[in-house]
């Protein structure tokens, strides 16, 4: 089975599948969290680990898991992600050979697939780094801003406009917490299932500013139970972004294909994979 040569453990696909299965099992067991799943917060952990990447300097990205350390873990954008890291700790204890960096990304892949999303090909090979590799604050997007800010942040990682819109569809999942970001509420009525509902709601609902003491956010006029951030609104007020939002609202299959491609790119930013390393497809639980 697993390759063991002179005490050096060389994990194979079947070993990653075991880790995947353990994360999936925990997701199923721990259903008393938020809307019934840790899935969304695991996706957010994997995204925030990756989204610090700067293509000019090659710093940041998922290779390092530096969010384990206080400077980066305490960045405002990362508030609440300790819930995801703690959720994964028993998995790390059971499979100590996997790096935190690879584990966090594997958990994002697992969460997306288990929440009925597209297949996300996975490639391991990340190594945990020391505290000195922590990225400076301010690399992740600020929800109070608009289209220029989105381009500044995502172009820095090497993404284009289409990719920005495809990535934003992740907000079909999960919710905002006043205790974390200050914002409140979910984007969709099915926050634990991957869908193209984010685009449909953005385009088809009427949105107005929520009247409250919190930060500026929008609410849907029909039920007033859903939310959009100012940055979400930029996806339909910017002409170029909007064209992609319209395509994804109409065609969930296209969204799934583009979302899978762009999230693989996100998860691999700045990772020096070994020569000849290959992506693997890990098997979802219920198919």
209 a catalytic residue: no
Rule CB under 6 A: is residue 41 a binding residue for ligand CCH? Answer: yes
Which of 47, 104, 187, 244 is labelled catalytic? 187
Rule CB under 6 A: is residue 234 a binding residue for ligand CCH? Answer: no
Rule CB under 6 A: is residue 210 a binding residue for ligand CCH? Answer: no
Rule CB under 6 A: is residue 117 a binding residue for ligand CCH? Answer: no
227 three-state secondary structure: strand
Binding mask 54-83 for ligand CCH (x = CB under 6 A): --------------------------x---
Q: How far is the CB of 241 from ligand CCH (least distance, A)?
A: 11
Rule CB under 6 A: is residue 231 a binding residue for ligand CCH? Answer: yes
Q: Nearer to ligand CCH by C-beta: 19 or 111?
A: 111
Strands (E), the chain: 3-5, 8-10, 175-176, 185-186, 207-209, 218-220, 227-228
Q: Which helix (H) or strand (E) holds 22?
A: helix 13-29
Q: Is 131 left (phi over 0), alpha (psi -120 to 50) or beta?
A: alpha
Q: Please, how many CA atoms are within 13 Å of residue 109, restricted to the half-sphere of its CB?
A: 29
Q: For residue 128, give both structure tokens.
A: 């945990």
97 a catalytic residue: no
Which of 45, 12, 4, 21 lies closest to 113 in space, CA to CA?
21
Interacting residue ranges for ligand CCH, rule: CB under 6 A: 40-41, 43-44, 47, 80, 141, 143, 150, 167-168, 170-171, 173-177, 180-181, 183, 229, 231, 263
Active site residues: 48, 187
């Amino acid at each position: 089975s697993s390759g063991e040569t002179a005490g050096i453990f060389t994990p194979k696909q079947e070993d990653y599948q075991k880790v995947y299965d353990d994360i999936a099992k925990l997701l199923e067991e721990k259903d008393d969290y938020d809307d019934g799943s840790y899935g969304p917060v695991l996706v957010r952990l994997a995204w925030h680990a990756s989204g610090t990447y700067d293509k000019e300097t090659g710093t940041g990205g998922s290779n390092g898991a530096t969010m384990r350390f206080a400077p980066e873990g305490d960045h405002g954008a990362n508030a609440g992600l300790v819930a995801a890291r703690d959720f994964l700790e028993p998995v790390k204890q059971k499979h100590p050979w996997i790096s935190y960096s690879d584990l966090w990304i594997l958990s994002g892949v697992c969460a997306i697939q288990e929440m009925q999303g597209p297949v996300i090909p996975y490639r391991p090979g990340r190594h945990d780094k020391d505290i000195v590799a922590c990225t400076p604050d301010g690399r992740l997007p600020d929800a109070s801003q608009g289209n220029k800010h989105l381009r500044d942040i995502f172009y820095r990682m090497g993404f284009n406009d289409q990719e920005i819109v495809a990535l934003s569809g992740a907000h079909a999942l999960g919710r905002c917490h006043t205790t974390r970001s200050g914002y409140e509420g979910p984007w969709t009525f099915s926050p634990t299932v991957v869908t193209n509902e984010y685009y449909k709601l953005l385009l088809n609902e009427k949105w107005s500013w929520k009247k409250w003491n919190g930060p500026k956010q929008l609410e849907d006029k029909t039920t007033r139970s859903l939310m959009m951030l100012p940055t979400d609104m930029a996806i339909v007020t910017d002409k170029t972004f909007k064209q992609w939002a319209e395509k994804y609202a109409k065609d969930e299959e296209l969204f799934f294909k583009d979302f899978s491609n762009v999230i693989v790119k996100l998860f691999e930013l700045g990772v020096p994979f070994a020569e000849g390393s290959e992506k693997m497809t890990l098997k979802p639980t219920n198919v």
